[in-house]
């Protein structure tokens, strides 16, 4: 990839992150470039990789170039630099490294903040970034052995890039609280002097998913008492939150459908609404739930339209049912998709 092309792609990824959060980080850019998946970032933050570079699809020099291009883009837009700390989620709490060798790490830690962000929000952002991340305990899918005692257990904690059981990590007095009750989990964590987030790798989705918390038993008891005391108030608040999210979804779907019509004026209004509703379904994981789509990025919107054409206007699904490999099926329908996109792009 040429440097001008990389510069353009860095700018696109950074612009999407900035539009969504009013600040942008190096990690936002490399995930936006698809050099890293979020699961790789999770692995690195948990302390299960020595550097971020070893998980990336490019080498150290390419990462350094991207960081330099991000700085150039950010300074050109008057963004304010704010250096953040990156600390391992393991018990050693070591400072995380982005690349190997003697490369300076400061360039990767800078968060570029919009001048539109209020001073109060900047302070809160700085406070949040300065906090050490949650300790992470992994519920392994396969047999494993503690590096200290040679025993095993239901959870492992990483220390010095090696797995340790809860006993050797001095955490075997904690009890497991499964996910599902946000208020109980939040309050148990607040009450607990020591806690850890329990995650487990999902092979199908290829991500670490949160399974619950390890907390002190006393803290769990206190949290349960607090939840019982205000259960009715929390139910009323939950209903208000549900109504607010529904209103937000309607507004977002309206904006997405309008953007589809802007990019594809030949697409009927009803079809644009159907595409937006399908792509942006909450919890679906589809392209409409991505940060790029929420920023109404043209590429993300086009992907949503292409997905709709693929399933509704071509033989793609029939080919898959007939046993045609996915890559071959997509190749067969490519011309049909391009023709339909051309129809949608025509003004009426």
Does the pTM exceed 0.85?
no
- Domain endpoint, select from 66, 97, 130: 130
Q: Do 90 and 54 share a structural domain?
A: yes
Q: 175 in a domain, yes or no?
A: yes
Angle made by CA atoms 30, 35, 41, in degrees to the nearest 5: 65
- Domain endpoint, select from 115, 130, 145: 130
Q: Do 126 and 60 share a structural domain?
A: yes
Q: Do 140 and 39 share a structural domain?
A: no
Residue with tokens 């040679």: 150
Q: Which domain does 319 fall in, by range?
A: 264-345
- Domain endpoint, select from 66, 101, 130: 130
pLDDT digits (tens), the chain, 348 positions: 567 789 999 999 999 889 888 899 999 999 999 899 888 888 888 777 889 999 998 999 999 999 999 999 999 999 999 988 888 877 777 888 999 877 888 889 999 999 988 888 888 887 777 677 788 899 999 999 999 999 999 999 888 778 899 999 889 999 999 999 999 999 999 999 899 999 998 888 777 889 999 999 999 999 999 998 888 887 787 788 777 777 778 888 898 999 999 999 999 999 999 999 888 877 666 777 777 677 788 888 998 999 999 999 999 999 988 888 888 999 999 999 999 999 999 876
Give the model's pLDDT for residue 67.
Answer: 94
Q: 258 in a domain, yes or no?
A: no
Distance between CA 214 and CA 139 in Å, rounded? 11
Q: Are 273 and 257 in contact (CB under 8 A)?
A: yes
Distance between CA 101 and CA 120 in Å, rounded? 37
Give the model's pLDDT for residue 112.
Answer: 94
Give the model's pLDDT for residue 283.
Answer: 65
Nearest residue to 6 via CA among 79, 70, 76 = 70
Give the model's pLDDT for residue 1.
Answer: 54
Distance between CA 1 and CA 61 in Å, rounded? 13
Give the model's pLDDT for residue 348.
Answer: 61
Distance between CA 105 and CA 108 in Å, rounded? 6
Q: 233 in a domain, yes or no?
A: no
Angle made by CA atoms 32, 36, 37, in degrees to the nearest 5: 85
* Domains in the chain, number: 3
Q: 150 in a domain, yes or no?
A: yes
Nearest residue to 171 via CA among 182, 160, 184, 158 = 158
Q: 34 in a domain, yes or no?
A: yes
Distance between CA 281 and CA 304 in Å, rounded? 12
Q: Do 144 and 122 share a structural domain?
A: no
Phi, psi of 181 (to 5 degrees): -120, 100
CB atoms within 10 A of CB 208: 21
Distance between CA 343 and CA 170 in Å, rounded? 65
Q: 59 in a domain, yes or no?
A: yes
């Amino acid at each position: 990839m040429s440097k001008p092309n990389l510069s353009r792609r860095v700018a696109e990824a950074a612009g999407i992150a900035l539009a969504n959060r009013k600040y942008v980080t190096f990690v936002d850019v490399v995930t936006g470039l698809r050099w890293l998946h979020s699961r790789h970032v999770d692995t690195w933050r948990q302390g299960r990789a020595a550097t971020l570079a070893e998980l990336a699809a490019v080498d150290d020099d390419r990462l350094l170039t991207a960081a330099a291009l991000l700085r150039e883009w950010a300074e050109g837009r008057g963004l304010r630099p704010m250096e953040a700390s990156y600390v391992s989620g393991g018990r050693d709490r070591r400072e995380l490294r982005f690349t190997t060798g003697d490369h300076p790490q400061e360039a990767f830690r800078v968060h570029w903040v919009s001048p539109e962000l209020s001073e109060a929000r900047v302070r809160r952002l700085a406070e949040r970034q300065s906090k050490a991340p949650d300790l992470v305990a992994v519920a392994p899918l396969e047999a494993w052995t503690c590096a200290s005692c040679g025993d095993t257990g239901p959870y492992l904690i990483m220390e010095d890039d090696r797995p340790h059981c809860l006993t050797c990590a001095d955490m075997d007095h904690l009890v497991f609280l499964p996910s599902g009750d946000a208020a109980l989990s939040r309050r148990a964590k607040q009450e607990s002097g020591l806690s850890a987030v329990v995650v487990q790798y999902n092979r199908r989705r290829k991500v670490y998913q949160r399974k619950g918390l390890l907390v002190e038993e006393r803290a769990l008891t206190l949290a349960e008492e607090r939840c019982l005391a205000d259960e009715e108030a929390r139910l009323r608040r939950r209903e208000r939150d549900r109504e607010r999210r529904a209103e937000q979804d309607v507004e977002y779907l309206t904006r997405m459908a309008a953007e589809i019509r802007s990019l594809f004026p030949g697409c009927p209004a009803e079809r644009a609404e159907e595409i937006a509703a399908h792509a942006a379904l909450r919890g679906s994981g589809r392209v409409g739930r991505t940060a790029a789509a929420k920023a109404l990025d043209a590429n993300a919107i086009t992907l949503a339209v292409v997905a709709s054409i693929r399933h509704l206007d071509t033989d793609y699904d029939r080919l898959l049912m007939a046993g045609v490999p996915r890559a071959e099926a997509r190749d067969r329908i490519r011309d049909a998709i391009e023709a339909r996109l051309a129809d949608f792009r025509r003004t009426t």
